[in-house]
Structure 1
Amino acid sequence: MKLSHRWLARHLEAMPDPVRVQQGIEQLGIEVVGTSRFGHIFQTVELVEVISRVPHPDSDHLSLVDVRRGDGSVSRIVTGAANGFPGDRLWYGPPGTELPDGRVLERKSLRGVESPGMLLSAEELGFQATGGDLWVWSGPEPLGTRFLEVIGGEDLVYELEMTPSTASYLQSVRKIAEALAGLWGVTLKPLPSPFEYRQDPLARVEAEAACPRYGLVEMQVKPGKVSPLWMQALLRSIGLRVIHPAVDATNFVLWDLGEPLHAFDASQVELPITVRLAQPGETLTLLDGKTITLTPEDLVIADRVRALALAGVMGGQGSAVTENTRTIYLESAHFAAPGVFRSMRRHQLTTDAGLHFGKGTDPAMVDVAPTAVQILLAEAGALAETGRSQVIGYLPAARQIVIEPDRIAALLGVDWSWEKMAVALEGFGYRVTGFTVTVPRERHDVETEYDLAEDIARFYGMDAVPSRLPVMPLTYAARDVSRTFLERLRDRCTESGMMEVVTRTLSSPEREASLHIASWPPVMITNPLRDEERMLRRELLTSLLEVVRYNRARRDEPVNIFEVGAVFRRDGEEVVESYQLAMVLTLGSSPAYPSRPETTVHDLLARVIWITERLGWAVHAADATDAPDYLHPGRSVRLVDSDGVELGWLGELRPRIAELFQARRLAVLLMDIPAHVTLVTSTPRRISRFPSVVRDLSLVVPPTRRYAEVLQAIRDTGGQWLQEVGLIDRFVGDFGQSWTFRLVFQAPDRTLTDEAIDGEIQRILRHLEPLGITLRQ
């Protein structure tokens, strides 16, 4: 959610500075993930006056317009607009002005005439105005006035990340303002008075459980009007488009009061309106052009002929408000959250209205919202008359919780008096009578005294709660062998230079479809909070790549991350939980000083070998002729245990898949961790007192042979004296490819002679001959 600082100030009598506002928001349990400025690009846009206009000498559709600026200077601008005549005052963007669509104005030559900048329309500034192409300004501001000044100055926008509990009631500017006012002891500005509904026969509700309260108001609107500039600026500050006064008013009330509204074009509606469940096979074409097939579980708004809207989610094209609309039916309702949420998930729709209703709204706003729309339309000059109206249903009774103050104090670990706790609850809108607390209707998240304790702590801040260690008897816990191994594995991965991440175990079939790793049946969630988290994950790699996408979207830095986590699959009626190790490493060079060697797949393989060797876990690289589709052909290895059982795969991710996660080249590892890992315990050998002998062996190797295969063949034949072997050079010539291995021999009881070493070398060469490998001459 985006929150405008200026919008928040509309609800508070005294507005603190942005630093204190951010601290207050975070005290409410809402994370401020970032801030941005709105309006700063309008600092250079200034008000000018047209003093002359003549046709362009070399064009029949361009004109040369001389304008007087605030400092008295005159600039000649080339324009193709049909309006803008002497005496008109217009908005002018000089060279260097940045427009909302990202364009930067420059000094250009148009048909041989230089034009410094541009005369601007309202649309080019991201706003709406009446009139022709250019925005002719009729306000009293003097020449030279900056456009930033007329929209109220620069605004600060907070980007909020809400938890499910806070989003259920703090999803509007008003509710956040009420909570902050309680924290700071600041007076709130009053809400509009409730709308006085008449009981005209406009609608009926058949599904009362799904729609406890439904209001409908008839309003006649005037054509050719636009929303007030201050409201347009607030809507633009949070990323919303300006469309039509009626639509803008409903969007504004949605974010201002948290009440989703919908306006129907009255000329396209056959009264009465009915709130009912959909009929089997009934279809509805939505505002976005998508046609959906409804089910009897969907709640719809219908007239005598057809369904007009999917209740609480989105309206239909057949009754949409247009420029020709003269009369609207304004819907203000309270829909049950579960039904709206399920309809969104069923039809794969995500709308602001649906998200609000799906988390729960304040039923009292059904009466307040129409008045707010009346005020906004009247200020825009778009309200001609308010006609018939009707409200059906009831306001749900407020819930009450009887609490024990000592229990609350014990839960928080404080010695606060009940009077102090009551102040906190009343600050957040609760009514306290004795030990009975009446919960506000919009607080759908509050059910028990535990929720009240959380609000009390939030009111005073967690810093006010003393930090004390709990007192409990000390007992020795039995160490689980498998858990101990997982802890050691995480430690070794961290020591290798990787960074650990912990991701959620929830996923979706669509999210995992990009890699096509898991083919076994998933474990689905019966009632997920979000459609993209409706099953337990079947593999770890997709979760890790989502972390890569998140980080790459914010900064272009290499990543080297790992996770040891649980994955799930269904085996008949049983849910099987197992563990996997996944790693992701950015390949290629990275901007650093001093420069570092280019990262390759071998770097990730070396880390895996280093980790498993120190754990005593026998893991080897094997042939990879049947690599999975998500890995780059020829740049992958299969990992097996000491018995040859496949554990997983390591290699470079295919470029087309890496691009899906905003990366270029990535090395990845996905490996199963067996339930019972057999660890190889090594005994330190006695260090030999005798010198070692180093021999370099250059071999001509067929291109079909893999490094792991050749290395293992040398180790198997080298005998007890061969202590180390490794590749030190690779050369390609007319004879083929040559690999140079360095072999280190050492005996524990004597100094090795050249004759003894030559014998070992000849034995290795004879063993390599069947593989087509010969000594380079």
Structure 2
Amino acid sequence: MRVPVSWLTEHLDAGEIGPQELAEAFVRIGMEIEDVQPLGEVTGPVVIGRVAAIEELTGFKKPIRYCRVETGEDDLPADRSTDEDGSAAGDHGPDALKTRGIVCGATNFAEGDLVVVALPGSVLPGGFAIAQRKTYGRVSDGMICSARELGLGDDHNGILVLPPATASPGDDARALLGLDDTVLDVVPTPDRGYALSIRGLARELACALDVPFGDPASLDLPEPEGEAWPVRIEDPSGCSRFVLRRITGLDAGAPTPWWMRRRLMLAGIRSISLAVDVTNYVMLELGHPLHAFDTSSVKGDLVVRRAQPGEKLTTLDDVERALDPDDMVIADDSGVISLAGTMGGASTEITTESTDVLIEAAHWDPPSISRTARRHKLFSEAAKRFERFTDPQVCAVAVELAARLLRRYGDGSIQPGRTDVGHVEPNLPVTMPIDLPDRVAGVRYDRGATVRRLGQIGCKVTVGTSDEGIALVTAVPPSWRGDLLQPADLVEEVLRLEGYDCIPSTLPPAPAGAGLTDTQRRGRTVSRALAAAGYVEVLPFPFMSAETWDAFGLPEDDVRRRTVKVQNPLEADKDQMASSLLPGLLETLQRNVSRGFRDLALFHIGQVVLPGAAPVRMPDLGVEHRPGDEELAALEAAVPAQPVHVAVVLTGQRQRSGWWGSGEAAS
């Protein structure tokens, strides 16, 4: 996740701290930092300009415009443009304005727009120096910049156009754009979904640096007055909470404020429209994805359910998708309108005419969303967060924050109703001996370190004593930490926050060896003998396809067809354990022959799987207790025989021909 340092430190009382110190703090607590990327250095005069006039130049292979740009300079003449021969080109702008003439190839801006202008003498990222130069028959007195040219992102589809009233012509663009910022590319581990947000990362830094943390989710929620829209959850196992807020009278054409566009840009998200940008901003800030529906396109009550056989949905990327009965969806009277937790439907998409909007936040079942994303190959930012677990208690806060932003910047009216259906079970308390982290790490931590660290991550902690007189700590995990389920999870939190570097890296003494077993000696003897005879050992793919034996021409009742099927195969067409080493060896032989090798002698020593004629069903044992003798015996009886076999294959000449005589064919 790309994170601007200025946004991250907004919620920390850390004083003056540099990007490198923040990166080192993340690494200390187990967060990987892929990159620390300062924005490209910009020097010289870079100012805000207002486009006063645009002249379309003709006769060129691509669109070229000659723009008169007001840059707030009083010492400029009214017109500085010249033709190729150096003579005045005439009046290309209002006489009352003192403007610069700039040639530009972009077409995404109009007269009156605010743009960023690099004046002659400035140097942009990458050492790109700006100077007055003659081009396309005019003298270009600077450059109108795109976001990529300023080092703010990768978007180079057009000029960076600022919202009206953001600044005045002549203002310093470097201060407005925050070009002294740095972006951290943080890669949280998959079990830490909360860390895919500014809220989660700032809390982690507060723990690492021992500084106060201001939670952006601390909002006062008004009491709802009825429902925003009727909603019914038919599958509570797939969706435990569903929250809606309605905003009416929204100015569909209202621009996204610059500070929000900048943060989205630095995070790698393209600005689309105010409503969409607000949902993306709240997702990055709080870690909870939102979805916006065009209320006028919603027909009847919303129903949260599994997809029905044969249903289809055209998603926002204009792809019609056949839904699976395992997919969680949101539907109305017209059918499915959203693939839940993954991507919305095109029928209720927010458009440039949407003035009535429903903002939705829900808590989805992570495994369901993960299966849906992989089934449809839709790895959206929303799915990435939902499959890692989101905070169910932040749903109402997320829609409220989005609604307030739309009211502030889009002149919308928040309707008094709020829909909040479903029920979320609180996290169960976890109890452990208070000195368990010390014993696991082999370190005696300071008194109170365990309680303090668990409190920092949001746990409600109580200390007590067992009947045996052992000091115990009981922690109720916060709503955003669905991964804290057992004492080992709490121990990990204490150890990483106290610092892995404090744990001594002392290797235990290795026990005396007993030498090789008879089986190991026998295997090595066979391997050495085959190698001495000219064979090369290979490691074929250990799984095979059921169709392989058809190619071998084996009868249906051949014992080699009896094998074990893999539930989650690496390759869909090879979903069976090998009952013989020959198919894998022959496949390796074929691959080498196709690459020009003609004389081959290969061997492999490995296990095969030979289930009996009446295989025993594998028992499903729990993990709450140690298995007994009967359970272990049942497990061993269900495991098929796995003897070690040796196989060889040859092709071409076993012994090559030469001055010593003719070769010997492998056959």
How many Å apart are 1:175 and its aligned residue?
0.8
Q: Residue 202 of structure 1: which of 208, 217, 230 is its match?
A: 230
Q: Which amino acid aligns with 2:183?
A: V
In 1: Cα distance, 2:13 partner to 2:50 partner: 38
Equivalent pair of 2:233/2:239 in contact (CA under 8 Å):
yes
Structure 2 residue aligned with 1:158 = 184
Matched residue SS, 2:492: helix
Structure 1 residue aligned with 2:4 = 4
Structure 2 residue aligned with 1:460 = 498
Structure 2 residue aligned with 1:231 = 260
Structure 2 residue aligned with 1:754 = none
How many Å apart are 1:23 and its aligned residue?
1.4
How many Å apart are 1:112 and its aligned residue?
2.5
Matched residue SS, 1:35: strand
Q: Which amino acid aligns with 2:432?
A: I
In 2: Cα distance, 1:506 partner to 1:368 partner: 51
Structure 2 residue aligned with 1:36 = 37
Equivalent pair of 2:341/2:386 in contact (CA under 8 Å):
yes
Work out whether 1:145 is the aligned partner of 2:89.
no
Q: Which amino acid aligns with 2:396?
A: D
In 1: Cα distance, 2:72 partner to 2:501 partner: 55
Q: Residue 242 of structure 2: which of 205, 211, 214 is its match?
A: 214
Matched residue SS, 1:274: strand
Pick closer, same or farther for the CA change 1:478–1:397 going to 2, 3 Å: same
Work out whether 1:440 is the aligned partner of 2:467.
no
How many Å apart are 1:235 and its aligned residue?
0.6
Q: Deviations over 1:52-94 (max 9, x none)?
A: 8889799999556365565945642246878547xx8653245
Equivalent pair of 1:121/1:133 in contact (CA under 8 Å):
yes
How many Å apart are 1:436 and its aligned residue?
1.1
Structure 2 residue aligned with 1:356 = 385
How many Å apart are 1:332 and its aligned residue?
1.1
Pick closer, same or farther for the CA change 1:96–1:639 going to 2, 3 Å: farther
In 2: Cα distance, 1:363 partner to 1:117 partner: 51
How many Å apart are 1:294 and its aligned residue?
1.8
Equivalences, count? 550
Structure 2 residue aligned with 1:309 = 338
How many Å apart are 1:189 and its aligned residue?
1.9
How many Å apart are 1:425 and its aligned residue?
1.3
Q: Which amino acid aligns with 1:326?
A: T
**Higher radius of gyration, 1 or 2:** 1
Pick closer, same or farther for the CA change 1:45–1:298 going to 2, 3 Å: same
- Aligned-residue RMSD, C-alpha: 4.8
Structure 2 residue aligned with 1:170 = 195
Q: Which amino acid aligns with 1:152?
A: G
Pick closer, same or farther for the CA change 1:17–1:54 going to 2, 3 Å: closer
Structure 2 residue aligned with 1:46 = 47
Q: Residue 204 of structure 2: which of 164, 179, 183 is its match?
A: 179
Structure 1 residue aligned with 2:68 = 65
Pick closer, same or farther for the CA change 1:483–1:36 going to 2, 3 Å: farther
Equivalent pair of 1:48/1:91 in contact (CA under 8 Å):
yes
Equivalent pair of 2:565/2:577 in contact (CA under 8 Å):
no
Structure 2 residue aligned with 1:286 = 315
Q: Deviations over 1:689-736 (max 9, x none)?
A: xxxxxxxxxxxxxxxxxxx9899433634xxxxxxxxxxxxxxxxxxx
Matched residue SS, 1:364: helix
Structure 2 residue aligned with 1:376 = 405
In 1: Cα distance, 2:659 partner to 2:225 partner: 92
- Structure number with greater CO (CA < 8 Å, separation at least 6) is 2
Equivalent pair of 1:222/1:382 in contact (CA under 8 Å):
yes
Equivalent pair of 1:67/1:76 in contact (CA under 8 Å):
no
In 1: Cα distance, 2:514 partner to 2:20 partner: 47
Equivalent pair of 1:122/1:135 in contact (CA under 8 Å):
no
Pick closer, same or farther for the CA change 1:346–1:11 going to 2, 3 Å: same
How many Å apart are 1:324 and its aligned residue?
0.4
In 2: Cα distance, 1:508 partner to 1:174 partner: 47
- Unaligned 5+ runs, structure 1: 490-504, 510-519, 527-533, 540-567, 584-623, 648-673, 679-707, 718-766, 772-777
Work out whether 1:714 is the aligned partner of 2:658.
yes
In 1: Cα distance, 2:121 partner to 2:655 partner: 63
Pick closer, same or farther for the CA change 1:677–1:292 going to 2, 3 Å: closer
Q: Deviations over 1:140-178 (max 9, x none)?
A: 5562622x3212233222223332223x33221111111
In 1: Cα distance, 2:598 partner to 2:123 partner: 51
In 2: Cα distance, 1:280 partner to 1:99 partner: 56
Equivalent pair of 1:227/1:377 in contact (CA under 8 Å):
no
Structure 1 residue aligned with 2:638 = none
Work out whether 1:570 is the aligned partner of 2:576.
yes
Matched residue SS, 2:448: helix
Matched residue SS, 1:343: helix
Matched residue SS, 2:450: helix
Per mean C-alpha deviation after superposition, the further-off stretch among 433-442 and 405-414 is 405-414
Q: Which amino acid aligns with 1:195?
A: L
Equivalent pair of 2:289/2:385 in contact (CA under 8 Å):
yes
Matched residue SS, 2:282: helix
In 2: Cα distance, 1:133 partner to 1:240 partner: 15
Matched residue SS, 1:714: coil
In 1: Cα distance, 2:33 partner to 2:542 partner: 24
Matched residue SS, 1:165: coil
Q: Residue 390 of structure 1: which of 419, 432, 441 is its match?
A: 419
Please show how residues 606-755 of structure 1 align to structure 2 within 5 Å: 631=595, 635-641=596-602, 712-714=656-658, 716-717=660-661
Pick closer, same or farther for the CA change 1:65–1:235 going to 2, 3 Å: same
How many Å apart are 1:119 and its aligned residue?
3.9
Pick closer, same or farther for the CA change 1:48–1:295 going to 2, 3 Å: closer
How many Å apart are 1:240 and its aligned residue?
0.5
Equivalent pair of 1:84/1:136 in contact (CA under 8 Å):
no
In 2: Cα distance, 1:506 partner to 1:315 partner: 41
Equivalent pair of 2:58/2:64 in contact (CA under 8 Å):
no
Q: Which amino acid aligns with 2:238?
A: A
Matched residue SS, 2:12: coil
Q: Deviations over 1:524-544 (max 9, x none)?
A: 875xxxxxxx534799xxxxx
Work out whether 1:259 is the aligned partner of 2:288.
yes
Pick closer, same or farther for the CA change 1:579–1:305 going to 2, 3 Å: closer
In 2: Cα distance, 1:47 partner to 1:169 partner: 38
Matched residue SS, 1:255: helix
Q: Could you tell me the TM-score, scaled by structure 1's length?
A: 0.61
Pick closer, same or farther for the CA change 1:715–1:419 going to 2, 3 Å: farther
How many Å apart are 1:321 and its aligned residue?
0.3
How many Å apart are 1:273 and its aligned residue?
1.0
